[in-house]
Chain A
Amino acid sequence: MKIKEGFRMRSILDAHMVVPEGPGMEGYNKMIALNASAAYLWENVEGKDFDVMTLTSLLVDKYDIDQETASRDAAKLLGEWVEAGVIED
């Protein structure tokens, strides 16, 4: 899966949000707030193909957490992104 074309992450100081800026997105009226770890994941999968395993690995790499916790957090976050409509297969 990938992040849908046109969604960009914008940052102000330590606040991060996903903004719909692509062609044809003028009717999309939501912005998604990302916390620091979600922003880290987004930055690292932007423009690339990825799955829940990719996100899990990234979390394990960066944070001092075990595989199982990372896997749960990754799945939860991915679920939120899918529900927000920013992911395509």
Chain B
Amino acid sequence: MRTCCEVAGHKFSIEFPESYTRVPALAQYSPFTVEPDSSDLLFSLEVVESLPELDLKLVYDQQTEPGETKIRLFRCRQGWYCESAPTSESPVAARFLMSEDFSKGILEITAEGDPLFALNNSLMIQYAFSTASKGTLEMHASVIVNDGRGYLFTARSGTGKSTQSRMWLKAIEGSRLLNDDNPVVRVLDDGRAWVFGTPWSGKTPCYRNESAPVGAFVQIRRCSENKATRLGVVESYANLYSSCSGFKSDRAMADGLHATLAACVSSVPCFVLDCLPDEDAARVCCKAVKNV
């Protein structure tokens, strides 16, 4: 069973063996499906019953908050190997081997693992790594589109990104949610940054194959009052840097991410919004981002 998808202009395929008994429902990928024999695929992910023996060297062991996805990344002769679990207390769900250039991924879903979690997580990693050198950022953000512009709200998990989006939906007319957890930002040939909906939206089922030019990046911080402040270049860069996925210790990936971050920071205003979780925060935010 083979499905081809396109997210933010990058195509990839997902394949399960015909005999596989645990194929998850792939409804979130439906809006992104394209013709199955696309020849210009950026990468492919193939699910297998088991991976071969690997000689591993640990290069990244994520320090997670309780409840956050746990990821460990290794290098091996074949390329890269990644293990994911839903939390640091859960057993490993996905064992994922990627070629050196990330174009070929093979995934073993463990007996204890949830197939959809294993697939989604591995795809997101493979997507982030293979697009890092192509003007593309996979971001941790919630996105509202209003009057033809996309506004990305960034912050650590639980700080209030989704709340800010909800407040816009309530208080700012003409707002629409594009994605609630993992949108993709891509800088196009003309230097403009666009934000795209993706099949990955955290706990909110918001899977929209739509896009908009980025109007602003807004970092959310909890505060006892509502105040928006424009950020300078370095602070803007720091904000985006910490909100995008990618293995920054890999020089080529870091260079690619930097180029895209620099383009975003040079062309899109960034703000920090100190705020309460209320509708006034959305109004203060809206006023700031539209008055640039």
Contacts and interface: CB of A to CB of B under 8 A. Distances in A.
A23 to B, nearest CB: 5
A6 B241 contact: no
Nearest to A15: B233
A13 B266 contact: yes
Interface in B236-262: 237-238, 241-242, 248-249, 251, 254, 258, 262
Given A17-B238, A31-B237, A31-B241, A12 B265 contact: yes
Contact of B59 (A15, A17, A21, A23): A23
A12 B266 contact: yes
Interface residues of B, number: 19
Contacts of A12: 233, 237, 262, 265-266
Contact of A26 (B62, B232, B233, B265): B62
A72 interface: no
Given A21-B248, A23-B249, A29 B242 contact: yes
Contacts of A31: 234, 237-238, 241
Chain A: interface size category: 10 to 19
A33 B242 CA distance: 16
A6 B265 contact: no
Interface in A22-80: 22-27, 29, 31, 33
A4 interface: no
A10 interface: yes
B237 A27 contact: no
Closest 8 CB pairs of A and B: A15-B233, A33-B234, A31-B238, A12-B262, A23-B249, A21-B248, A21-B254, A17-B234
11 contacts: A10-B262, A12-B237, A15-B237, A17-B234, A19-B241, A19-B248, A19-B258, A25-B249, A26-B62, A26-B63, A33-B234
